[in-house]
């Protein structure tokens, strides 16, 4: 593969952006793109590399766009014999098999509240090579001794945090409200839920969760918006310690990340 494509794939992964790789995996006869030719398709529609140009490349771009939308790729066969029914308008005379691979962005968590659960979750997600940042309004809970691998340490009031997230170039996949103060958790949720597209989770007892939802409803959040607040968080493993809660949350992220596996990545699909 072209090293420029490898470098761009790494750059996009580090910025938590999805992309699609299209590879020529098999050829027969005369074809424009030889085996191993590759194209990288970004979410804004721009590309790097080529699988051979002409109509084959345009079809590759359409397949890549569909893979981004579906979060799944597949294998696709193309005949390059314009004189045959169903073939591309090409006179090359051969055939090409393309592998389309959707590459999802690595999870990138923002943890509000630097207490015991946040510390345990930070350790857990780094074992999975996921990224995280920590936010708190107490500077002593943002130190490198507590969170040595944090991408960012954000000292912020709960009222200001949602707007700071919105203005940041950092793309978070999940925000977890792990705060030490229920009123401050609620304040972050109130500002965050209407505008943050990712997962919002709240560590809470059943009573705290019900009271939080009631208060947010009274402050004007719709049921549709409130439905985006996940509480309790994590898979129901039955754990109660910070480390056990962190494990259940990490397991839930892994489960959701791979929920679409087997829905097309290895399946052969006819060319459109």
What does the pLDDT look like over 162-220, one tens digit per residue? Answer: 999 999 889 999 999 998 899 999 999 999 999 998 889 999 989 999 999 999 999 99
Q: What pLDDT score was predicted for residue 52?
A: 83
pLDDT at 82 over 90: no
When pLDDT is cut at 50, 70 and 90, the band that residue 117 belongs to is very high
Q: What is the pLDDT of residues 2-29, one digit of tens each?
A: 899 999 999 999 999 999 999 999 988 8
Q: What pLDDT score was predicted for residue 198?
A: 87
Q: Give backbone dihedrals phi and psi of 135, rounded to 5 degrees, phi first.
A: -130, 140
> In the sheet where 199-202 sits, what is the strand order?
153-155, 131-136, 108-112, 174-177, 199-202, 229-230
pLDDT at 89 over 90: no
Q: What pLDDT score was predicted for residue 20?
A: 97
**Across residues 156-167, what is the average pLDDT?**
95
- Determine the Cα–Cα distance for residues 23 and 211; give it in Å rounded to an integer: 52
When pLDDT is cut at 50, 70 and 90, the band that residue 267 belongs to is very low
> In the sheet where 95-103 sits, what is the strand order?
47-49, 38-42, 19-28, 95-103, 74-79, 268-269
pLDDT at 264 over 60: no
pLDDT at 54 over 80: no
**Across residues 127-144, what is the average pLDDT?**
96
- What is the CB-side half-sphere exposure of residue 267 using CA atoms within 13 A? 10
**Across residues 236-262, what is the average pLDDT?**
88
pLDDT at 242 over 60: yes
**Across residues 237-264, what is the average pLDDT?**
84
Angle value at C-alpha 8, between 128 and 250, nearest 5 degrees: 15
When pLDDT is cut at 50, 70 and 90, the band that residue 269 belongs to is very low
Q: Which is more confident, 179 or 268?
A: 179
Q: What pLDDT score was predicted for residue 265?
A: 41
**Alpha helix positions (H), the chain:** 3-14, 54-70, 116-127, 161-167, 182-192, 206-218, 223-226, 242-257
Structural domains in the chain, sorted by start: 3-105 (no CATH), 108-257 (3.40.50.720)
């Amino acid at each position: 593969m072209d090293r420029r494509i490898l470098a761009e794939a790494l750059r996009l992964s580090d910025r938590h952006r999805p992309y699609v790789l299209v590879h020529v995996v098999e050829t027969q006869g005369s074809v424009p793109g030889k085996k191993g030719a590759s194209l990288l398709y970004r979410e804004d529609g721009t590309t790097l590399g080529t699988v051979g140009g002409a109509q084959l490349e345009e079809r590759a771009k359409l397949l890549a766009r569909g893979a981004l939308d579906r979060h799944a790729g597949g294998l696709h066969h193309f005949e390059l014999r314009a004189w045959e029914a169903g073939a591309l308008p090409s006179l090359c005379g051969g055939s090409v098999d393309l592998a389309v691979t959707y590459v999802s962005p690595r999870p990138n968590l923002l943890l509000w509240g630097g207490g015991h659960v946040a510390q345990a979750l930070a350790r857990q997600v780094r074992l999975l090579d996921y990224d995280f940042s920590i936010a708190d309004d107490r500077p002593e809970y943002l130190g490198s001794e507590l969170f040595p691998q944090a991408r960012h340490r954000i000292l912020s009031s709960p009222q200001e945090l949602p707007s700071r997230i919105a203005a940041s170039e950092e793309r978070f996949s999940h925000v977890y409200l792990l705060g030490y103060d229920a009123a401050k958790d609620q304040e972050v949720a109130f500002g965050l839920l209407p505008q943050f597209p990712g997962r919002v989770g709240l560590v809470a007892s059943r009573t705290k969760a019900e009271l939080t939802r009631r208060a947010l409803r009274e402050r004007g959040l719709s049921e549709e918006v409130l439905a985006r607040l996940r509480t309790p968080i994590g898979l129901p493993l039955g754990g109660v310690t910070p480390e056990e809660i962190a494990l259940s949350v990490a397991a839930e992220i892994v489960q959701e990340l791979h929920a679409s596996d087997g829905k097309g990545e290895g399946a052969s699909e006819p060319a459109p």
